Chains A and B, each alone.
Chain A
Amino acid sequence: MTPRVTLTGVTFTYPGGVRPAVRGLSMEVAAGEIVAVAGAAGAGASTLLLVATGLAPRLVGGSLAGERAIGARRSGIVFARPWTQLTGLCSTVRDEVAFGPAAAGRPLAEVAAAASRALHRLGIAHLAERDPAHLSGGELQRVVVAAALALEPELLALDDPAAELDPTAADALYALMPSLAADGAAVLLATPDVERAARVATRALVLEEGVIVADGRPGDVLPPTEVGALARAAGCPAPYPLDVPALLGRLTPDAGRRAHDTTDGPPAGSGPSTSGTAR
Protein backbone atom coordinates (compact mmCIF):
# COMPACT_ATOMS: atom_id res chain seq x y z
CA MET A 1 0.00 0.00 0.00
CA THR A 2 1.23 3.52 -0.77
CA PRO A 3 2.51 5.26 2.36
CA ARG A 4 0.23 8.02 3.59
CA VAL A 5 3.20 10.38 3.49
CA THR A 6 6.87 10.08 2.56
CA LEU A 7 9.44 12.77 3.25
CA THR A 8 12.96 12.52 1.83
CA GLY A 9 15.49 15.09 2.99
CA VAL A 10 12.81 17.74 3.55
CA THR A 11 13.82 21.13 4.89
CA PHE A 12 11.26 23.86 5.59
CA THR A 13 11.76 27.52 6.44
CA TYR A 14 8.94 29.86 7.55
CA PRO A 15 8.52 33.19 5.73
CA GLY A 16 11.15 35.56 7.07
CA GLY A 17 12.77 32.76 9.03
CA VAL A 18 16.53 33.06 9.39
CA ARG A 19 17.02 29.31 9.67
CA PRO A 20 14.92 26.26 8.80
CA ALA A 21 12.32 25.11 11.32
CA VAL A 22 12.93 21.49 10.28
CA ARG A 23 15.93 20.09 8.41
CA GLY A 24 16.61 16.97 6.39
CA LEU A 25 13.45 15.16 7.45
CA SER A 26 13.27 11.65 6.06
CA MET A 27 10.39 9.47 7.17
CA GLU A 28 7.53 7.39 5.92
CA VAL A 29 4.19 6.93 7.65
CA ALA A 30 1.97 4.03 6.65
CA ALA A 31 -1.75 3.41 7.06
CA GLY A 32 -2.52 2.08 10.52
CA GLU A 33 0.48 3.69 12.20
CA ILE A 34 0.21 6.05 15.16
CA VAL A 35 3.43 8.02 15.26
CA ALA A 36 4.15 10.15 18.32
CA VAL A 37 6.33 13.18 17.60
CA ALA A 38 8.20 14.44 20.64
CA GLY A 39 10.65 17.23 21.28
CA ALA A 40 11.18 20.32 23.37
CA ALA A 41 9.14 23.44 22.57
CA GLY A 42 10.49 24.84 19.31
CA ALA A 43 12.08 21.55 18.23
CA GLY A 44 9.85 21.46 15.13
CA ALA A 45 7.10 18.96 16.01
CA SER A 46 4.25 21.27 14.98
CA THR A 47 6.09 22.20 11.80
CA LEU A 48 6.60 18.53 10.95
CA LEU A 49 2.81 18.10 11.12
CA LEU A 50 2.24 21.07 8.80
CA VAL A 51 4.82 19.75 6.34
CA ALA A 52 3.51 16.16 6.42
CA THR A 53 -0.08 17.25 5.73
CA GLY A 54 0.95 19.60 2.91
CA LEU A 55 -0.11 22.78 4.76
CA ALA A 56 3.44 24.08 4.75
CA PRO A 57 4.19 25.98 2.66
CA ARG A 58 0.71 25.93 0.95
CA LEU A 59 -1.09 27.54 3.91
CA VAL A 60 1.64 29.20 5.93
CA GLY A 61 4.02 30.29 3.18
CA GLY A 62 7.76 29.79 3.40
CA SER A 63 9.97 27.50 1.35
CA LEU A 64 10.34 23.75 1.20
CA ALA A 65 13.25 21.78 -0.23
CA GLY A 66 13.56 18.03 -0.65
CA GLU A 67 10.99 15.50 -1.77
CA ARG A 68 7.53 15.06 -0.31
CA ALA A 69 4.95 12.54 -1.50
CA ILE A 70 1.54 12.66 0.16
CA GLY A 71 -0.27 9.43 -0.61
CA ALA A 72 -3.30 10.21 1.54
CA ARG A 73 -6.29 11.33 -0.52
CA ARG A 74 -7.67 13.31 2.41
CA SER A 75 -5.77 14.72 5.35
CA GLY A 76 -6.91 16.54 8.47
CA ILE A 77 -5.08 18.52 11.10
CA VAL A 78 -5.90 19.78 14.56
CA PHE A 79 -3.82 22.78 15.58
CA ALA A 80 -2.39 23.24 19.03
CA ARG A 81 -4.61 26.31 19.50
CA PRO A 82 -8.00 25.06 18.36
CA TRP A 83 -9.86 28.36 18.60
CA THR A 84 -7.78 29.61 15.67
CA GLN A 85 -9.26 26.86 13.55
CA LEU A 86 -12.96 27.74 13.75
CA THR A 87 -14.47 28.87 10.49
CA GLY A 88 -16.21 31.85 12.09
CA LEU A 89 -19.07 31.14 9.69
CA CYS A 90 -21.12 28.63 11.63
CA SER A 91 -23.55 29.34 14.44
CA THR A 92 -23.90 25.72 15.56
CA VAL A 93 -21.41 23.02 16.41
CA ARG A 94 -23.09 20.68 13.91
CA ASP A 95 -22.52 23.14 11.06
CA GLU A 96 -18.94 23.71 12.18
CA VAL A 97 -18.19 19.99 12.10
CA ALA A 98 -19.97 19.59 8.75
CA PHE A 99 -18.14 22.51 7.15
CA GLY A 100 -15.09 20.53 5.96
CA PRO A 101 -16.85 17.74 4.08
CA ALA A 102 -19.43 20.25 2.73
CA ALA A 103 -16.65 22.49 1.43
CA ALA A 104 -15.09 19.43 -0.22
CA GLY A 105 -18.27 19.13 -2.27
CA ARG A 106 -19.54 15.86 -0.85
CA PRO A 107 -23.28 15.12 -1.21
CA LEU A 108 -25.38 16.60 1.60
CA ALA A 109 -26.54 13.24 2.98
CA GLU A 110 -22.92 12.10 3.27
CA VAL A 111 -21.95 15.38 4.91
CA ALA A 112 -24.68 15.03 7.53
CA ALA A 113 -23.75 11.41 8.21
CA ALA A 114 -20.01 12.19 8.52
CA ALA A 115 -20.68 15.09 10.87
CA SER A 116 -23.02 13.02 13.00
CA ARG A 117 -20.50 10.15 13.24
CA ALA A 118 -17.72 12.55 14.24
CA LEU A 119 -19.88 14.23 16.91
CA HIS A 120 -20.69 10.85 18.42
CA ARG A 121 -17.08 9.61 18.27
CA LEU A 122 -15.97 12.67 20.26
CA GLY A 123 -18.88 12.37 22.71
CA ILE A 124 -20.21 15.84 21.88
CA ALA A 125 -23.51 15.06 20.18
CA HIS A 126 -25.19 16.93 23.05
CA LEU A 127 -23.40 20.11 21.95
CA ALA A 128 -24.58 19.89 18.32
CA GLU A 129 -26.97 22.85 18.46
CA ARG A 130 -24.76 25.05 20.68
CA ASP A 131 -22.99 28.14 19.38
CA PRO A 132 -19.23 27.39 19.15
CA ALA A 133 -18.55 30.88 20.49
CA HIS A 134 -20.12 29.92 23.82
CA LEU A 135 -18.21 26.72 24.43
CA SER A 136 -15.50 26.12 27.00
CA GLY A 137 -11.93 25.61 25.82
CA GLY A 138 -12.13 21.83 26.23
CA GLU A 139 -15.48 21.58 24.46
CA LEU A 140 -14.09 23.64 21.62
CA GLN A 141 -11.06 21.40 21.33
CA ARG A 142 -13.32 18.37 20.88
CA VAL A 143 -15.35 20.24 18.25
CA VAL A 144 -12.19 20.94 16.26
CA VAL A 145 -11.09 17.30 16.48
CA ALA A 146 -14.58 16.23 15.35
CA ALA A 147 -14.36 18.63 12.41
CA ALA A 148 -11.09 16.99 11.37
CA LEU A 149 -12.60 13.50 11.71
CA ALA A 150 -15.63 14.50 9.64
CA LEU A 151 -13.25 14.81 6.70
CA GLU A 152 -12.61 11.07 7.14
CA PRO A 153 -8.90 11.68 6.68
CA GLU A 154 -6.42 9.03 5.63
CA LEU A 155 -3.73 11.10 7.31
CA LEU A 156 -4.63 12.79 10.58
CA ALA A 157 -2.21 15.16 12.31
CA LEU A 158 -3.00 16.04 15.92
CA ASP A 159 -1.04 18.79 17.63
CA ASP A 160 -1.45 18.37 21.39
CA PRO A 161 -5.15 17.54 20.86
CA ALA A 162 -5.95 16.96 24.53
CA ALA A 163 -4.18 19.99 26.02
CA GLU A 164 -7.43 21.52 27.25
CA LEU A 165 -9.45 18.37 27.86
CA ASP A 166 -10.45 17.03 31.24
CA PRO A 167 -8.81 13.67 32.06
CA THR A 168 -11.85 11.62 31.05
CA ALA A 169 -12.17 13.36 27.70
CA ALA A 170 -8.41 13.15 27.15
CA ASP A 171 -8.38 9.41 27.83
CA ALA A 172 -11.36 8.96 25.50
CA LEU A 173 -9.63 10.89 22.71
CA TYR A 174 -6.45 8.83 23.04
CA ALA A 175 -8.51 5.63 23.15
CA LEU A 176 -10.09 6.66 19.85
CA MET A 177 -6.76 6.79 18.01
CA PRO A 178 -6.20 3.03 17.65
CA SER A 179 -9.67 2.65 16.14
CA LEU A 180 -8.93 5.43 13.63
CA ALA A 181 -5.68 3.66 12.75
CA ALA A 182 -7.51 0.33 12.47
CA ASP A 183 -9.86 2.01 9.99
CA GLY A 184 -6.83 2.80 7.83
CA ALA A 185 -5.82 6.28 8.93
CA ALA A 186 -2.23 7.17 9.66
CA VAL A 187 -2.03 9.33 12.78
CA LEU A 188 0.74 11.80 13.54
CA LEU A 189 0.58 12.95 17.14
CA ALA A 190 2.67 15.79 18.59
CA THR A 191 2.28 16.14 22.34
CA PRO A 192 4.21 16.72 25.56
CA ASP A 193 1.91 14.15 27.21
CA VAL A 194 4.43 11.33 26.95
CA GLU A 195 2.49 8.92 29.14
CA ARG A 196 -0.70 8.98 27.08
CA ALA A 197 1.28 9.03 23.81
CA ALA A 198 3.26 5.96 24.86
CA ARG A 199 0.00 4.10 25.54
CA VAL A 200 -1.27 4.43 21.97
CA ALA A 201 1.67 5.13 19.67
CA THR A 202 3.05 2.35 17.52
CA ARG A 203 6.21 4.34 16.85
CA ALA A 204 7.82 7.57 18.02
CA LEU A 205 10.04 10.25 16.51
CA VAL A 206 12.11 12.64 18.57
CA LEU A 207 13.10 16.03 17.18
CA GLU A 208 15.89 18.31 18.33
CA GLU A 209 16.34 21.70 16.71
CA GLY A 210 14.38 20.63 13.65
CA VAL A 211 16.20 17.34 13.09
CA ILE A 212 14.88 13.81 13.72
CA VAL A 213 17.31 12.37 16.26
CA ALA A 214 15.44 9.18 17.12
CA ASP A 215 12.85 7.00 15.39
CA GLY A 216 11.77 3.81 17.09
CA ARG A 217 9.54 2.11 19.62
CA PRO A 218 7.83 4.63 21.94
CA GLY A 219 9.21 2.97 25.06
CA ASP A 220 12.74 3.18 23.69
CA VAL A 221 12.86 6.73 22.37
CA LEU A 222 10.33 8.94 24.17
CA PRO A 223 11.65 11.20 26.95
CA PRO A 224 10.94 10.21 30.57
CA THR A 225 7.41 10.61 31.83
CA GLU A 226 6.52 12.22 35.15
CA VAL A 227 6.75 8.77 36.71
CA GLY A 228 10.06 8.05 34.99
CA ALA A 229 11.56 11.27 36.34
CA LEU A 230 10.29 10.46 39.81
CA ALA A 231 11.75 6.95 39.65
CA ARG A 232 15.07 8.34 38.50
CA ALA A 233 15.08 10.82 41.42
CA ALA A 234 14.32 7.94 43.78
CA GLY A 235 17.34 6.00 42.53
CA CYS A 236 15.83 3.67 39.92
CA PRO A 237 18.42 2.54 37.38
CA ALA A 238 17.71 3.20 33.67
CA PRO A 239 15.62 2.47 31.68
CA TYR A 240 13.00 4.41 33.61
CA PRO A 241 9.39 3.24 33.92
CA LEU A 242 6.72 5.03 31.90
CA ASP A 243 3.89 4.66 34.39
CA VAL A 244 3.04 3.64 37.94
CA PRO A 245 2.45 -0.10 37.30
CA ALA A 246 5.83 -0.28 35.58
CA LEU A 247 7.45 1.57 38.48
CA LEU A 248 5.94 -0.82 41.02
CA GLY A 249 7.15 -3.72 38.90
CA ARG A 250 10.71 -2.44 39.23
CA LEU A 251 10.66 -2.45 43.04
CA THR A 252 11.83 -5.34 45.16
CA PRO A 253 9.04 -7.11 47.07
CA ASP A 254 9.96 -5.47 50.38
CA ALA A 255 10.05 -1.94 48.93
CA GLY A 256 6.96 -0.79 50.84
CA ARG A 257 8.49 -1.89 54.13
CA ARG A 258 11.81 -0.29 53.38
CA ALA A 259 10.12 2.98 52.39
CA HIS A 260 8.56 3.62 55.77
CA ASP A 261 10.56 1.24 57.88
CA THR A 262 7.50 -0.47 59.37
CA THR A 263 5.79 -3.77 58.66
CA ASP A 264 2.21 -2.60 58.41
CA GLY A 265 2.14 -2.22 54.62
CA PRO A 266 1.81 -4.97 52.06
CA PRO A 267 4.89 -5.59 49.95
CA ALA A 268 4.87 -3.45 46.87
CA GLY A 269 6.06 -4.20 43.42
CA SER A 270 5.53 -7.92 43.76
CA GLY A 271 3.46 -8.17 40.60
CA PRO A 272 4.77 -8.09 37.08
CA SER A 273 4.90 -4.81 35.22
CA THR A 274 1.73 -4.24 33.23
CA SER A 275 3.13 -1.45 31.20
CA GLY A 276 6.12 -0.07 29.41
CA THR A 277 9.49 1.21 30.30
CA ALA A 278 11.30 4.08 28.68
CA ARG A 279 14.91 5.09 28.57
Chain B
Amino acid sequence: MSGWDIRVEDIRYAYGDVEALRGISLEIRAGESVALIGRNGAGKTTLTRALVALNRPAAGRVAVGDWDVAARRPDEMARRIGYVFQHADQQLFARTVREDVSFGPRRLGRRGPVDAVLGELSLAPYADTHPYDVPGPLRKLVALAGVLAMEPGALILDEPTAGLDRVQRALVARALRRRSEAGVTLLVVSHDLGFVAEVAERVVVMERGRIVADRPARDFLYDTEVLGALELRPPATVEIGLALKLPGAPVRSEEVTAAMKGVKWKEYAG
Protein backbone atom coordinates (compact mmCIF):
# COMPACT_ATOMS: atom_id res chain seq x y z
CA MET B 1 0.00 0.00 0.00
CA SER B 2 1.37 3.44 -0.84
CA GLY B 3 1.01 6.13 1.76
CA TRP B 4 0.24 9.80 1.27
CA ASP B 5 2.66 12.58 2.00
CA ILE B 6 1.30 15.50 4.03
CA ARG B 7 2.57 19.07 3.64
CA VAL B 8 1.59 21.94 5.90
CA GLU B 9 2.79 25.44 5.04
CA ASP B 10 2.55 28.23 7.59
CA ILE B 11 -1.04 27.64 8.70
CA ARG B 12 -2.85 29.78 11.26
CA TYR B 13 -6.09 29.15 13.08
CA ALA B 14 -7.91 30.91 15.94
CA TYR B 15 -10.90 30.23 18.17
CA GLY B 16 -12.27 33.75 18.54
CA ASP B 17 -9.32 35.74 19.83
CA VAL B 18 -7.43 32.65 21.07
CA GLU B 19 -4.74 31.73 18.55
CA ALA B 20 -4.52 27.94 18.37
CA LEU B 21 -2.08 27.62 15.45
CA ARG B 22 0.53 30.35 14.98
CA GLY B 23 2.29 29.55 11.75
CA ILE B 24 2.74 25.78 11.56
CA SER B 25 4.85 24.20 8.83
CA LEU B 26 5.37 20.46 8.72
CA GLU B 27 6.20 17.87 6.13
CA ILE B 28 5.47 14.18 6.65
CA ARG B 29 6.83 11.78 4.05
CA ALA B 30 4.66 9.03 2.63
CA GLY B 31 4.94 6.00 4.90
CA GLU B 32 6.48 7.91 7.80
CA SER B 33 5.19 7.34 11.36
CA VAL B 34 5.08 10.55 13.38
CA ALA B 35 3.94 11.27 16.94
CA LEU B 36 2.57 14.71 17.73
CA ILE B 37 2.92 15.54 21.40
CA GLY B 38 2.52 18.60 23.62
CA ARG B 39 0.66 19.94 26.62
CA ASN B 40 -3.13 20.20 26.74
CA GLY B 41 -4.20 23.16 24.64
CA ALA B 42 -1.01 23.22 22.56
CA GLY B 43 -3.01 22.99 19.31
CA LYS B 44 -2.45 19.32 18.41
CA THR B 45 -6.07 18.45 17.71
CA THR B 46 -6.64 21.74 15.87
CA LEU B 47 -3.70 20.92 13.60
CA THR B 48 -4.87 17.39 12.81
CA ARG B 49 -8.39 18.60 12.05
CA ALA B 50 -6.96 21.03 9.52
CA LEU B 51 -5.34 18.10 7.70
CA VAL B 52 -8.74 16.51 6.99
CA ALA B 53 -10.71 19.69 6.24
CA LEU B 54 -12.58 19.60 9.56
CA ASN B 55 -11.42 23.14 10.12
CA ARG B 56 -10.23 25.72 7.61
CA PRO B 57 -7.03 27.60 8.49
CA ALA B 58 -7.23 31.39 8.17
CA ALA B 59 -3.86 31.39 6.39
CA GLY B 60 -1.40 28.93 4.89
CA ARG B 61 -1.83 25.76 2.88
CA VAL B 62 -2.30 22.05 3.54
CA ALA B 63 -1.75 19.36 0.91
CA VAL B 64 -2.21 15.59 1.08
CA GLY B 65 -0.52 14.00 -1.90
CA ASP B 66 -1.62 16.06 -4.90
CA TRP B 67 -4.77 17.37 -3.19
CA ASP B 68 -5.04 20.89 -1.85
CA VAL B 69 -7.11 20.31 1.30
CA ALA B 70 -8.73 23.77 1.02
CA ALA B 71 -10.51 22.54 -2.10
CA ARG B 72 -11.79 19.32 -0.52
CA ARG B 73 -14.67 18.36 1.74
CA PRO B 74 -14.15 16.20 4.86
CA ASP B 75 -15.89 13.20 3.22
CA GLU B 76 -13.47 13.43 0.28
CA MET B 77 -10.51 13.60 2.64
CA ALA B 78 -11.73 10.37 4.25
CA ARG B 79 -10.73 8.58 1.05
CA ARG B 80 -7.11 9.42 1.72
CA ILE B 81 -6.88 9.79 5.49
CA GLY B 82 -8.53 7.66 8.15
CA TYR B 83 -9.15 9.92 11.14
CA VAL B 84 -10.04 8.72 14.65
CA PHE B 85 -11.41 11.50 16.83
CA GLN B 86 -10.19 12.16 20.34
CA HIS B 87 -13.76 11.52 21.43
CA ALA B 88 -14.40 8.54 19.24
CA ASP B 89 -18.01 8.12 20.43
CA GLN B 90 -18.78 11.01 18.10
CA GLN B 91 -18.04 8.93 15.03
CA LEU B 92 -20.13 5.83 15.86
CA PHE B 93 -23.66 5.74 14.57
CA ALA B 94 -24.67 2.34 13.17
CA ARG B 95 -26.79 -0.24 14.96
CA THR B 96 -24.07 -2.83 15.33
CA VAL B 97 -20.31 -2.74 15.54
CA ARG B 98 -20.02 -4.72 12.31
CA GLU B 99 -22.31 -2.28 10.45
CA ASP B 100 -20.33 0.64 11.81
CA VAL B 101 -17.00 -0.83 10.72
CA SER B 102 -18.46 -1.79 7.31
CA PHE B 103 -19.83 1.68 6.61
CA GLY B 104 -16.58 3.28 5.42
CA PRO B 105 -15.51 0.59 2.94
CA ARG B 106 -19.08 0.33 1.64
CA ARG B 107 -19.05 4.04 0.83
CA LEU B 108 -15.87 3.41 -1.15
CA GLY B 109 -17.64 0.63 -3.04
CA ARG B 110 -15.62 -2.11 -1.35
CA ARG B 111 -16.29 -4.84 1.19
CA GLY B 112 -13.10 -4.13 3.12
CA PRO B 113 -11.37 -6.49 5.55
CA VAL B 114 -14.07 -5.96 8.19
CA ASP B 115 -13.85 -9.32 9.95
CA ALA B 116 -10.06 -9.34 9.84
CA VAL B 117 -9.91 -5.91 11.47
CA LEU B 118 -12.50 -6.86 14.11
CA GLY B 119 -10.37 -9.90 14.93
CA GLU B 120 -7.15 -7.91 14.95
CA LEU B 121 -8.55 -5.53 17.58
CA SER B 122 -10.26 -8.31 19.60
CA LEU B 123 -13.69 -6.87 18.75
CA ALA B 124 -15.17 -10.00 17.18
CA PRO B 125 -17.23 -10.82 20.31
CA TYR B 126 -18.90 -7.40 19.97
CA ALA B 127 -19.58 -7.59 16.21
CA ASP B 128 -23.36 -7.79 16.66
CA THR B 129 -23.52 -5.43 19.65
CA HIS B 130 -24.77 -1.85 19.44
CA PRO B 131 -21.68 0.43 19.57
CA TYR B 132 -23.08 2.23 22.60
CA ASP B 133 -23.48 -1.07 24.46
CA VAL B 134 -19.76 -1.72 24.01
CA PRO B 135 -17.72 -0.74 27.10
CA GLY B 136 -16.57 2.89 26.80
CA PRO B 137 -12.84 2.33 26.22
CA LEU B 138 -13.55 -0.22 23.49
CA ARG B 139 -15.59 2.29 21.47
CA LYS B 140 -12.29 3.91 20.57
CA LEU B 141 -11.21 0.58 19.12
CA VAL B 142 -14.47 0.36 17.17
CA ALA B 143 -13.78 3.76 15.62
CA LEU B 144 -10.23 2.67 14.83
CA ALA B 145 -11.51 -0.54 13.25
CA GLY B 146 -13.81 1.58 11.08
CA VAL B 147 -10.95 3.54 9.59
CA LEU B 148 -8.61 0.54 9.28
CA ALA B 149 -11.29 -1.30 7.30
CA MET B 150 -11.17 1.52 4.73
CA GLU B 151 -7.47 0.77 4.17
CA PRO B 152 -6.50 4.43 3.76
CA GLY B 153 -3.02 5.54 2.73
CA ALA B 154 -2.71 7.70 5.85
CA LEU B 155 -4.00 7.46 9.40
CA ILE B 156 -4.44 10.29 11.89
CA LEU B 157 -5.31 9.15 15.38
CA ASP B 158 -6.08 11.59 18.19
CA GLU B 159 -5.20 10.03 21.55
CA PRO B 160 -5.88 6.49 20.37
CA THR B 161 -4.91 4.88 23.68
CA ALA B 162 -6.75 7.19 26.11
CA GLY B 163 -8.75 4.96 28.45
CA LEU B 164 -7.24 1.73 27.16
CA ASP B 165 -5.49 -0.77 29.38
CA ARG B 166 -2.05 -2.28 28.75
CA VAL B 167 -3.32 -5.18 26.67
CA GLN B 168 -5.55 -3.00 24.46
CA ARG B 169 -2.72 -0.50 24.00
CA ALA B 170 -0.50 -3.31 22.76
CA LEU B 171 -3.20 -4.37 20.28
CA VAL B 172 -3.37 -0.85 18.87
CA ALA B 173 0.41 -0.54 18.69
CA ARG B 174 0.66 -3.83 16.82
CA ALA B 175 -2.09 -2.86 14.37
CA LEU B 176 -0.44 0.50 13.65
CA ARG B 177 3.01 -1.01 13.21
CA ARG B 178 1.57 -3.42 10.65
CA ARG B 179 0.09 -0.50 8.66
CA SER B 180 3.30 1.46 8.99
CA GLU B 181 5.35 -1.47 7.70
CA ALA B 182 2.93 -1.67 4.77
CA GLY B 183 3.70 1.94 3.84
CA VAL B 184 0.76 3.75 5.42
CA THR B 185 1.56 7.27 6.69
CA LEU B 186 0.87 7.60 10.39
CA LEU B 187 0.29 10.68 12.54
CA VAL B 188 -0.55 9.92 16.17
CA VAL B 189 -1.45 12.53 18.78
CA SER B 190 -0.57 11.12 22.17
CA HIS B 191 0.45 12.00 25.72
CA ASP B 192 1.57 8.43 26.22
CA LEU B 193 5.30 8.36 25.53
CA GLY B 194 5.36 4.60 26.11
CA PHE B 195 2.98 4.22 23.19
CA VAL B 196 4.93 6.77 21.14
CA ALA B 197 8.03 4.65 21.69
CA GLU B 198 6.20 1.62 20.30
CA VAL B 199 4.86 3.19 17.09
CA ALA B 200 6.68 6.36 16.04
CA GLU B 201 9.95 6.95 14.21
CA ARG B 202 9.74 10.73 14.59
CA VAL B 203 8.38 13.04 17.29
CA VAL B 204 7.01 16.55 16.72
CA VAL B 205 6.39 18.68 19.81
CA MET B 206 3.90 21.56 19.90
CA GLU B 207 3.63 24.35 22.44
CA ARG B 208 1.16 27.21 22.30
CA GLY B 209 0.35 26.78 18.65
CA ARG B 210 3.92 26.35 17.44
CA ILE B 211 6.25 23.45 16.69
CA VAL B 212 9.12 23.58 19.18
CA ALA B 213 10.89 20.29 18.43
CA ASP B 214 10.99 17.81 15.56
CA ARG B 215 13.36 14.88 16.07
CA PRO B 216 13.84 11.18 15.37
CA ALA B 217 11.92 9.36 18.11
CA ARG B 218 14.89 7.41 19.46
CA ASP B 219 17.04 10.56 19.84
CA PHE B 220 14.20 12.50 21.40
CA LEU B 221 13.18 9.82 23.89
CA TYR B 222 16.80 9.41 25.08
CA ASP B 223 17.37 13.18 25.38
CA THR B 224 16.56 13.56 29.06
CA GLU B 225 17.56 17.23 29.01
CA VAL B 226 14.99 18.15 26.36
CA LEU B 227 12.37 15.89 27.96
CA GLY B 228 13.00 17.56 31.31
CA ALA B 229 12.62 21.02 29.77
CA LEU B 230 9.24 19.89 28.42
CA GLU B 231 8.33 18.45 31.85
CA LEU B 232 8.24 14.94 30.40
CA ARG B 233 9.65 11.71 31.80
CA PRO B 234 11.14 9.18 29.41
CA PRO B 235 8.98 6.10 28.90
CA ALA B 236 9.73 3.15 31.18
CA THR B 237 11.55 1.33 28.39
CA VAL B 238 13.97 4.23 27.99
CA GLU B 239 14.41 4.66 31.76
CA ILE B 240 15.45 1.00 31.89
CA GLY B 241 17.68 1.42 28.85
CA LEU B 242 19.40 4.39 30.48
CA ALA B 243 19.78 2.76 33.90
CA LEU B 244 21.24 -0.44 32.46
CA LYS B 245 23.08 1.30 29.62
CA LEU B 246 21.49 -1.18 27.26
CA PRO B 247 23.10 -1.34 23.82
CA GLY B 248 21.33 0.15 20.81
CA ALA B 249 19.20 2.66 22.76
CA PRO B 250 16.13 0.40 22.79
CA VAL B 251 12.74 2.13 22.98
CA ARG B 252 10.19 -0.62 22.25
CA SER B 253 9.25 -3.20 24.89
CA GLU B 254 10.44 -6.09 22.76
CA GLU B 255 13.77 -4.35 22.14
CA VAL B 256 14.26 -3.84 25.87
CA THR B 257 13.37 -7.40 26.83
CA ALA B 258 15.71 -8.70 24.11
CA ALA B 259 18.51 -6.40 25.34
CA MET B 260 17.93 -7.60 28.93
CA LYS B 261 18.50 -11.20 27.98
CA GLY B 262 20.89 -12.73 30.46
CA VAL B 263 20.23 -10.41 33.39
CA LYS B 264 19.84 -12.11 36.76
CA TRP B 265 16.87 -11.38 38.98
CA LYS B 266 16.67 -11.45 42.74
CA GLU B 267 13.72 -13.04 44.51
CA TYR B 268 11.33 -10.46 45.97
CA ALA B 269 12.46 -9.61 49.47
CA GLY B 270 9.18 -8.03 50.57
Contacts and interface: CB of A to CB of B under 8 A. Distances in A.
Interface of A: 40-42, 46, 80-81, 83, 130-131, 134-139, 142, 160, 163-170, 192, 194, 223-227, 229-231, 233-239, 243-244, 247-248, 250-252, 254-256, 258-262, 264-266, 268-269, 277
Contact of A260 (B18, B237, B245, B264): B245
A160 B240 contact: no
B260 to A, nearest CB: 4
A124 B126 CA distance: 39
A194 B236 CA distance: 14
Interface residues of B, number: 53
Contacts of A170: 191
A137 B166 contact: no
Contacts of B243: 244, 248, 256, 268
Contacts of A83: 87
Contacts of A160: 137, 163
Contact of A230 (B164, B165, B237, B244): B237
Given A130-B18, A192-B137, A163 B162 contact: yes
B264 A192 contact: no
A277 B270 CA distance: 8
Interface in B144-172: 159, 162-166, 168
B41 interface: yes
Contacts of B42: 136
Contacts of B253: 226, 229-230, 233
A41 B136 CA distance: 7
B262 interface: yes
Interface in B1-43: 15-16, 18, 38-42
Contacts of A229: 166, 253
Given A142-B40, A229-B166, A234-B257, A41 B137 contact: yes
| 9 residue pairs, one from A and one from B, having the closest CB atoms | A138-B40, A265-B245, A42-B135, A192-B165, A41-B135, A252-B264, A134-B15, A163-B162, A234-B260
Interface of B: 15-16, 18, 38-42, 44-45, 86-87, 89, 134-138, 159, 162-166, 168, 191, 193-194, 231-233, 236-237, 239-240, 243-247, 253, 256-257, 259-268
Contacts of B239: 244
Given A134-B18, A168-B39, A259-B244, 7 more contacts: A46-B136, A136-B41, A138-B191, A226-B194, A230-B257, A233-B253, A254-B264
A184 to B, nearest CB: 29
A237 B268 contact: yes
A235 B256 CA distance: 12
Contact of A244 (B40, B236, B259, B264): B236
Contacts of A41: 135-138, 164-165, 168
A225 B268 contact: no
B240 A230 contact: yes
Contact of B163 (A163, A264, A265): A163
Contacts, number: 169
Contact of A250 (B18, B191, B265): B265
A270 B194 CA distance: 25
Contacts of A237: 265, 267-268
B236 A230 contact: yes
Given A40-B165, A234-B263, A168 B231 contact: yes
A122 to B, nearest CB: 11
B40 A266 contact: no
5 contacts: A40-B165, A42-B134, A130-B18, A134-B18, A229-B253
A135 B193 CA distance: 23
A166 B43 CA distance: 13
Contacts of B166: 192, 194, 223-226, 229
A92 to B, nearest CB: 12
A128 B135 CA distance: 33
Contacts of A165: 40, 191
A256 B265 contact: no
B135 A236 contact: no
A23 B257 CA distance: 39
A254 to B, nearest CB: 7
A192 B16 contact: no
A84 to B, nearest CB: 8
A185 B86 CA distance: 31
A268 B260 CA distance: 12
A128 B23 CA distance: 26
